[in-house]
Chain A
Amino acid sequence: MLTEMPATHHTPFGTPRSRRDMLLSAGAGFGGLVLAHLLPNSVLSGPTPNPQPLSSKTPHVLPRAKSIIFLFMEGGPSHLDTFDPKPLLKELSGKPMPPTFKPVILAMGENNSPIMDSPRKWKQHGDGGLWVSDWLPHTATCADDLCVIRSCWTNGLNHSGGVCQMNTGSTIGGRPSLGAWVTYGLGTENENLPAFVVMEDNPGSVINGPRNWSAGFMPAGYQGTPLASGPEPIRFLASPKGTTDGEQQLKLDLLKQLNQKHAAERAGQSELEARIASYELAFRMQAEAPDAVDLKDETAETQALYGLDQKETQGFGRMCLLSRRLVERGVRFVQLYSGAGSKWDAHSGIEKNHGGLCKAVDQPIAALLKDLKRRGLLNDTLVIWGGEFGRTPMSEKGDGRDHNPYGFTMWVAGGGIRGGRTVGTTDDIGLHAVEDRLHVHDLHATFLRVLGVDHMRLSYLNKGRPERPTINEGSPCEKVISG
């Protein structure tokens, strides 16, 4: 059942404000727990029934995609060595930055360091003639699916603020992440799996930790769930060691019996019934989640496509393949971290650093795009690539690059977005975004719009302030969406 997207505050998992809220709030977690069968009909027949917190909702505008896969290169990949070639760097190499470029504040204060050329070999790819460097040969074969945005900028000068803003819109923690907003706005299409899933290549390492997928001031039910591969993809999904299935069943049966009696004596306290149901839901997940992450029914061809047969690519390849399986099953928002723990942060030795990381992600990403496409899923899925910022044209320590929040590249694919083209530009040395500048808020507004969400109409009342996903700023970039 589709319900209207929340335009104002309701407290779906939260402290009940009214009995109806309470009844409707109850029990939701990963899936919108439909409680209707537990409740007397009269309760749901109020004048304006609140939506189930996680049930699927009607978008504001016609959606172009249903899900997002966000490929987050944590630490800040260099746009100057991947998608934004700057011939002038060769000319200026070894010289200080010309005074015609506006000086900037840099994390490591490398303002006066000389310009460093990119030793990459560049070629145009696809019908659109998109420039892609030789670090990403597989991605280059998907050039006609990529819309490369070269004019991104952010306020986050450091990793912490940058990653936080790219996820939550603010450099300071405490706000809901984009995935949480999407989950709040659109719900999920599979109640037995988390609506918003996070995977890291180095689990537990991403900067600021769970704050990046937190629900901020919204109830925790909208937060992202870390997912691992293997028999226990979600924490504590498996019965305790040494407890047989039969014993676990007996325990659950007794628990249910006790809780039902307790609830019967407290008729109308739906939170109690919701907790009974949450145990049941937990065990439906126990059945479905391991299946979702079990790759053995994937063909050898598919596994090889993602590079699962190679040491360098199997880690991120597995995450990309899992992402496809999850969006296929109705998961709304999947976020993958490559280089969790700021591994893309090449202050020195960028050749080795980026060379290795590009190799690790290139084939898996291309495989994901191709696999989604051949299964007819790419149109329904928005794939986003990028990091928290880019890197400077100036060198650091002779062979690295400092953080560059003033201009960097991200790309989007799928969701009906026309590929094989670029949007926006940076200046001639790739330091500042100049044309069609897109702040993180604009990017978020754009991503939301592709899902059919109007960033100004989705709001959540927190301490008297109607909060919106992009903090009332930014606007969707039509050039990206419909260009």
Chain B
Amino acid sequence: MDLPCCKYALFLATFLATAASSLADDAAKPTPEQLQFFEARVRPILVASCQKCHSGKEPKGDLSLDSRGGLLAGGESGDVVVPGQPEKSLLVEAINRTSIEMPPDKKLPDADIATLTEWVKLGAPWPEESGGNGPTLRKSRGKITDEDRSYWAFQPVKKTVAPEIENDGWSRGSIDRFLLAKMIPEGLRPAAEADKATLIRRVTFDMLGLPPSPEEVATFVNDSGPDAYERLIDRLLASPLYGERWARHWLDLVRYAESDGYKQDGYRPSAWRYRDYIIRSLNADKPYDRFVQEQIAGDEIAPEDPEALIATGYYRLGIYEYNQRDVRNQWNIILNDITDVTADVFLGMGMSCARCHDHKFDPILQKDYYRLQAFFAPIIQRDDVPAATPQACSDYREKMKTWEEKTADLRRQIDEIEKPYVDAAAKAFIAKFPVDVEPLFSKSESERTPLEAQLVRLAGRQIIEEGGKVDFPKKLKGDEKTKWEGLKKQLAEQEKTKPLPLPEAMMVSDVGPVASPVVIPGKRKAEEIAPGGPSVLDLNPLEILQPSTSLNSTGRRTALAQWLTRTDNPLTPRVMVNRIWQYHFGKGLVESSSDFGRLGQPPSHPELLDNLAADFVECGWSMKDVHRRLLSSAAYRQVSHGPALDESATKDPGNKWLSRMTVRRLGAEQIRDAALSATGELDGNSSGPGSDYASSRRSVYLKVLRNKRDDLLDVFDVPDGSSSIPERNVTTTPTQSLLMINGPWMLARAKALATGIEREQSSANKEKKIAAVYSNLFGRAPTGDESANAMKFLGNDNSKERLIDLCHVLLNSNEFLYVD
């Protein structure tokens, strides 16, 4: 750099320093002049001479010089800049080569050294990294500060009391008082209570996922008792249909599916047991803490309880690639997926960013991701444990023993013939695995490390599948074949006397009492990461109590389950009550219900959220109590539309302050189930294996195939089972319209409805039939105008086809698809 330029830089820098000498504080905003100096003089040096090494994902010396955050965070050698004090700054030392020497190959020109020195003296001004009012990047890399800990979601749940409101003629309970207190300063007033027909339709769809029957509507509307609504809530909470509806919310969260995904998308014939477990648990109002514990650590905390074992199916819901030879990588994918989902579902914290780097906005360290993963590091997939009580198991073993003794000789002979072929197939197959996996098979069990045992187990699934593919009738020849066929025939006879197998379920257990070590991938100094919660809540790892040796388990997941459900966990209860709120009201008090971090939204009603969370824990984590509290509020009973709401809609278009209810589109399953229910076709068979899409069972009992979804459910935004879904998209697309008005499924429902009405009311006049259509589909009588219009549509034609068309139109209508 030539001299005049250098002089200019120095002059400018000196001028700026005098003008803003107090700006050394890193919180201070740089002035425009300083930023101009930075952009014109400093950044070019950083780009040309520093950032080649000190930027990107793996900067040299762990020092990034491509952002102010990186600069202030320092590197392996500690802080590099003390803003305002060049004499104390390592960066200035380095460029002067008085201690370390940077850039390593060639000293910077004097002018550049002067510029950088002046820049540090100015306080190292650097423009804001994220524009506007959004959250700013965290500056303290690898560390947790008090400021981080003070963030609302990490603070203990407070016991709050609802404010008393003067002249409060509206509130029915504390929820309403919390809400009203926020409405008043916004100039809002709560809306009137909806009429009873609206209420029963709203709450029945909400709780059961189905419309009320015309009889149920009539009963409720005519019930003049003061507690009619409360009794309705009780009835709905006691209905087994409740679990079928609300299980679906949970299944979205845990990305439930019954197939593997990937190419083959293999069906998982026992996956449904987890779905039934969720339904049963909700119907039984299993306390949420127990519900969480069973899913996280059922095999450790209640190894003799089939329910708790089935609950660990939670870990088996992810995708699986049946022919992935890169076993190690597939195992990492499985563990990462479990880690991501667990953080989303239970902590309401998106942690997947931290898999590769510290979270840029929230105090979630990269280490925290692996602390969480360390709980799952010892798991293995189990398909060999019956989902049965110890008594049932021992009974079965007893019977099986007799059968096995009876058939021992037969089976031995078959085995003698088959074994060489199966072994050869397995051997040839093992050779297909990469060099990091293949040798593990020749090690004995005791020689394998826990991770090796896990990899062998995962690879073993492919070998078992391959072994089962040996085509004996083709492979065997001559006498051997004849003998084999004879033996197989005899065995087939014996199979008839075999005891019925115990129920199978997909589960997990630990590989043994020792976990494979978890390290942060790609770190040069790999240190084992001990299991723990996010550092912002506790810097220490969690204490793990080694369970009894008979369990052959690490106890890590028990520790996680207990930590998640500790009564003072600030996240678990808040996250769950907020989810329940969201499903009832359309959006959560924290709108980003799986992201309580700084990229999400802060709670609209923090005191109410804490009140609900504290109450939830205090009342023994009863989800039905939360439902009852929310549904009983005056807020839930408000009308959703009408001229009186114009002011509310104008002042609060997003309905943040809940001064009305919102008209909502039915979810995919609700649409399908409501159509089947209204036409009288719904098959009430509950539980058991999933049915094909053509079935008339409730949607929750249909097969959930990742790669081939039901047309109707798909088009109405059912999740694809790839990641945790806290809130579904609600789309309006012409694809939906085409499917509804031209597709065969909805037309078939129209035919069923019209056929039923024709059958039951064959002699009735058209008006009566129209009334029946309205009653079945909307739970109400048509108005005079509506009836007249429908009459006009039917015309003089008495054909069933016209009635089918009328039903089809009404099934397409917004009144059918939306709930007030």
Contact = CB atoms under 8 A, between A and B. Distances in A.
Contact of B732 (A21, A106, A271, A285): A271
Contacts of B741: 251-252, 255, 279, 282
A27 B643 CA distance: 24
A14 B731 contact: yes
A221 B720 contact: no
B814 A14 contact: no
Interface string B631-645: 000000000111100
A236 B743 contact: yes
Interface stretch (A142-150, A205-213, A370-378): A205-213
Given A105-B326, A109-B325, A463-B726, A211 B720 contact: yes
Contact of A464 (B597, B727, B743): B597
A276 B731 CA distance: 13
A27 B730 CA distance: 11
A424 B562 CA distance: 55
B732 A30 contact: no
Given A159-B263, A240-B742, A257 B720 contact: no
A75 to B, nearest CB: 11
A158 B324 contact: yes
A27 B814 CA distance: 13
A475 to B, nearest CB: 11
Given A174-B722, A209-B707, A465-B350, A269 B641 contact: yes
Contact of B733 (A109, A208, A220, A267): A220
B663 A26 contact: no
B594 interface: yes
Contacts of A20: 653
Contact of A262 (B349, B654, B709, B814): B814
Contact of B641 (A173, A208, A214, A265): A265
A123 B683 CA distance: 67
Interface in A51-108: 103, 105-108
Contacts of A463: 344, 350, 592, 594-595, 724, 726
A355 B267 CA distance: 35
Contact of B663 (A209, A238, A272): A272
Interface in A330-371: 342
A161 B738 contact: no
B813 A258 contact: yes
A121 interface: no
Interface size of A as a range: 35 or more
B729 interface: yes
A220 B729 contact: yes
B800 interface: no
Contact of A225 (B434, B735, B805, B817): B735
A259 B747 contact: no
Contact of A254 (B319, B723, B789): B789
Interface string B691-735: 000000000000000111101001101001011101111111111
A190 interface: no
Contacts of A281: 734, 737
A269 B649 CA distance: 10
Nearest to A43: B653
A265 B643 CA distance: 8
Interface string A157-182: 11111000000000011100000000
Interface string A257-287: 1110011011111011011101101100100
A173 B722 CA distance: 6
Nearest to B350: A464
B723 A278 contact: no
A14 B720 contact: no
Contacts of B747: 240
Interface string B212-237: 00000000000000000000000000
Interface in B421-443: 431-435
Interface string B195-216: 0000000000000000000000
Given A240-B744, A252-B741, A254-B789, A108 B324 contact: no
Contact of A174 (B263, B325, B720, B806): B720
B813 A106 contact: no
Given A254-B793, A271-B732, A236 B738 contact: yes
Given A209-B707, A243-B805, A251-B805, 14 more contacts: A15-B730, A21-B654, A158-B321, A160-B321, A207-B263, A251-B808, A252-B741, A254-B806, A255-B809, A265-B641, A266-B640, A267-B643, A279-B734, A464-B595
Interface of B: 261-263, 265, 319, 321, 323-326, 333, 337, 344, 349-350, 352-353, 362, 431-435, 587, 591-592, 594-595, 597, 599-600, 640-643, 646, 649, 653-655, 663, 665, 706-709, 711, 714-715, 717, 720, 722-724, 726-739, 741-744, 747, 786, 789, 793, 805-806, 808-810, 812-815, 817-818, 820
17 contacts: A13-B733, A109-B325, A172-B337, A172-B722, A214-B720, A234-B738, A251-B805, A251-B808, A251-B809, A254-B789, A258-B813, A267-B641, A269-B641, A269-B663, A281-B737, A282-B738, A282-B741
